Amino acid sequence: MWALVYSGIVQGFSTPPLLLLIVLMTNNRRIMGDKVNSFWLNVVSWVTVAAIFAASAGLVVSW
Question: CA–CA separation, 27 vs 61, rounded Å?
Answer: 31
Res 49: pLDDT: 96
Question: CA–CA separation, 23 vs 17, rounded Å?
Answer: 10
Res 59: pLDDT: 86
The per-residue pLDDT for range 8-63, each reduced to its tens digit, is 889 989 999 999 999 999 999 999 999 999 999 999 999 999 999 999 999 889 98
Looking at this protein, which amino acid is placed at residue 51? A
Res 30: pLDDT: 95
Res 31: pLDDT: 94
Domain ranges of the chain: 2-62
Res 12: pLDDT: 87
